[in-house]
Structures are given as C-alpha cells and as structure tokens.
Amino acid sequence: MYKAYDKAAIQSVIDEFRLSDIQSESEVRSKFIVRLSEVLGYSSQFRGEEFPVYGYGGREPLRAKDADFIFFNDKSFGSYRENTQKNKAWVREHSLLVIEAKKPGEMPDDLGQAQFYTMWTKAVAYIETDGEDFKGYFVNPISSDLEVITAKVDELPNKPEIWNFSYENVLSIKQKGCSIKSLDSRIIVMEDNACQVITEDSELDIPEETLSYIRNCMGKNAEALTNVQMVSRFLNTTDSLLQNDMRYDIPPYMIDIPRHIYKAKLYVDNMIFPLTIGEVTEFYCNDMTRYLFENEYIIADAIYRSNELCDFEIGYHILDKRVSERLDHFELVRKCLDADIVRVAVENESGLQMIFSTGHSRKMWKSKQHVKTMFEFWLSGMKS
C-alpha cells in the first residue's frame, strides 16, 4: 500500500498550463502531458516520444505510425525503434502507457488511434487529451476496454481515479502479467488529499456485516474472489450502473442506492398550505420505485411497482433538546398521523404527487397502530 495521490501537484500542472493560450497539439504535449506524466511518476528517461509502432492489416505490414508518447519501464527503449521481431518483442515486454495528444477542440469520440498503438505495443493503458477533455482506459484483451476516467482537464485535481495511471500502479499490473482484472483487486480510498491503493484483504477496513451484504448482492459473481477483489468489483459495477443511469436488467440491490434528491412539500387532508417541507430521495430498480420523504420530524417511505402505489410507511423522529420545542413538533407530527389523506408534492420534472390514504390504510401502512400507540406513549410521558 502506498500514499501518492497529490491533488496539489496536479492542480499546479493545470494552473501553469492555463497561463498559456494553447493553440497546437505540440503545446498540449510539452506544456501539459509532459508535466502531468512526471506528477504521475513517469521519469523522463522512460518517456518515448514519437515512438514508431508497427502493425499489420491482414497479412500485410502497415506503414509505421508514431505514437506521441509511450512510457516504458526501461530507459533503453531508444535501441528498439527499428522494425525487427526482437525489437517489437522488447517493446511488448516493457511498454506501460500510451498517451496521445490532440489539438484543442479536436478530441475524437473514438480513441481508435490510441487503441491501435496500445494493441500493437501491449501497453497496459492509454490516455488521450486535447488539453480540454481527458479520457483514460485500461486494456481488456477479451472484452471492451475499461473506461477509468472521462473528464475535463480542469476537473483532474478532483478526480483521484487518475492515479490508476500512476507509474507504480501500471508497472505492478504489467509485472503481474495481467491487465483489466488487476483493477478488480485494487481499491482507491481517499483520505483528505491522500490516496491509498489497497491490494490486500488485511488492509481493507470494512465491517464483516458490510462484506456479507456485498457478498449476497454479488451472488455467484463473488465466488473465488478475495474481499478486496469482491468489493472492487461491486464498486466498479455499481458505479457503471449509476454513471449510465441504468434502471432495467440490473441487480436487485440497486433499489438501495439513491438516484435523485428533490425538494418536496407535505400536505394533509384539504390544507392549502403545506404542513411541512423536506426532501424526497428517489430509488429505483427495474419496475420498482421507492420515494423517501424526510425532514427533521417526519419520514414517509413509499414503494411503487409499475407506477402503482403498493406500500407506504409513515414515521417520525423528534430530537429537540428543549421539552417545549419537542411538544410543538409532536403536535405537528400528530396532524400528519391523524390525517385521512397525506399528500407529498415532489418538485421533479414530472411534478409527482404522492397521495397516501392514511385514514384507510390497513393493506399498506401496516405499522400505523403501533406508530400511533408509541407516539401517544412518548407524548403523555413528556406532558406529565
């Protein structure tokens, strides 16, 4: 385990880069990529510039193409530029990271050029940037490459995932003779401005209850994995689903992951003005949606299936230090618990209105009688 993530150093690179009015690809190389690579731990003696890459189109050799930067784990790369089997084998053995520069405003959607260089050199990862946008991937030889970071250059100081491309990390993957699976055995943990790369179960400070929850969520996908591998895969999978706002054909545990938070107002019966205001957190997975209204005093939890209300619960939590304040807020809660209709108006795009028939709720609000009994118990105790 090492602590290396240096937010201040990356910010310094960006700040200095922004002092110039960047107009060309060469400026992106010299004023941004070179300095950033040094912060990531790549010494200049391991940096190959305009390095020739040899590939094939079918059986025919292609004309050599020069990669902007290839970073190696050996400084003798200059002796292996010529197109020989020995040289190409050496490059495949020692290449770590490919970085391609583009002129500002010319960032491609498809990183085919960087992928080409990475494929024929057997580098572990590749990055492409035009000084405005920044994309980085790890190679997966049997599936789609793993997108590790897509961000604006100015956002990089707040993107600790960039440290996946550090020299130590990429080198360790290369030395283990694997590529994308190595990301399943690494977890990056932020502590203030420092970064921990966790590789061993003994370094993983997670309660056993949480590990059991993750193991149950992962099912067979957790078999034969160490705890670090399992947690990393769980986090990577969940992050991918959230980044793409996936709803259908996703694991059931996603119903526990908050998706959106909206402002909301709670009304009772025929009141024109809201009884109280709060926030609604939205959760969803497949055809199930959960809305959780919450403020300082009232909680209302509703479950919808295919847009039909199928269950709800209403509760409360009053933690004021002064008894007089508690009594005031108990009266507010009483109005909610005694109402025949509770309506929550959600300030989302669709203007969602959740209506709970609290006066006739035996099929849904199953804990109603218990909640009201305990409410009266606590209230009478405070008044006595």
- Residue keyed to tokens 């010494």: 43
Confidence at residue 58, expressed as pLDDT on a 0 to 100 scale: 60
Q: Which pLDDT score is estimated for 190?
A: 45
- Considering just the CA atoms, what is the radius of gyration of the chain in Å? 28
DSSP secondary structure code for residue 338 in this structure? H
> What integer pLDDT is reported at residue 194 of this predicted model?
47
Lowest pLDDT segment from 56-60, 150-154, 330-334: 56-60
Concatenate the DSSP letters of all residues of 201-227 into one string.
GGG----HHHHHHHHHHHGGGGTT--H
pLDDT digits over 342-369, tens only? Answer: 999 999 989 999 999 987 766 788 888 8
- pLDDT score at 143: 61
pLDDT at 262: 96
Among residues 170, 169, 185, the alpha carbon closest in space to that of 236 is found at 185
Question: Which is it for the CA torsion 212, 218, 222, 226, positive or negative?
Answer: negative
DSSP string, 268-302: ETT-SS-SEEEEEEEEEETTEEEEEEE-SSEEEEE
Question: How confident is residue 245, by pLDDT bands cut at 50, 70 and 90?
Answer: confident
305 forms beta bridges with: 288, 308
pLDDT: which is higher, 86 or 141: 86
Q: Is the pTM of this model over 0.85?
A: no
Instruction: List Cα–Cα distances, 285 to 93, 246, 251, 263, 279, in angstroms.
Output: 44, 8, 8, 22, 20
Q: Name which residue leads in pLDDT, 140 or 160.
A: 160
Element spanning 88, H or E:
helix 85-94
- Pairing, β 95-101 against β 65-72: antiparallel
Computed over every residue of the chain, the mean pLDDT equals: 86
Are 275 and 333 a contacting pair, CB within 8 Å? no
Question: Looking at residues 93-101, what average pLDDT do you find?
Answer: 94
- 340, amino acid identity: D
Residue 61 confidence (pLDDT): 80
Q: What is the mean pLDDT of residues 122-131?
A: 93
68 has a pLDDT exceeding 70? yes
Average pLDDT over residues 300-309: 94
Work out the average pLDDT over 217-229: 87
Number of Cβ atoms within 10 Å of the Cβ of 40: 25
Options 3.40.50.261, 3.40.50.300, 2.60.120.200, 3.90.1570.30; which CATH number does 7-199 get?
3.90.1570.30
**Choice among 5-14, 195-204, 241-250 with the minimum mean pLDDT:** 195-204
- Torsion angle (degrees, nearest 10) of CA 167, 169, 170, 171: 80
Amino acid residing at 242: L
pLDDT for the residue numbered 273: 95
Confidence grade of residue 326 (pLDDT, cut at 50, 70, 90)? confident
pLDDT at 192: 46
Convert the pLDDT of each residue in 257-280 to its tens digit.
999 999 999 999 999 999 999 999
Q: Please state the rounded mean pLDDT for residues 132-149.
A: 82
Mean of pLDDT values over 188-206: 64
Bridge partners, 284 (sequence order) = 289
What integer is the mean pLDDT of 318-334? 87
**pLDDT exceeds 70 at position 182:** no
Q: Are residues 336 and 329 in contact, defined by beta-carbon separation less than 8 angstroms?
A: no
Measured over the CA atoms of residue 173, residue 179, residue 183 and residue 185, the dihedral's sign is: negative
pLDDT digits (tens, 9 = 90+) for 14-40: 999 999 888 899 999 999 999 999 999
Find tokens 């057997």 and name the residue: 122
Q: Give the pLDDT of residue 44.
A: 93
- Residue type, position 93, single letter: E
Quickly state the pLDDT bin for 320 (edges 50, 70, 90): confident
283-285-290 Cα angle (round to 5): 35
Nearest to 231 by CA among 248, 247, 212: 212
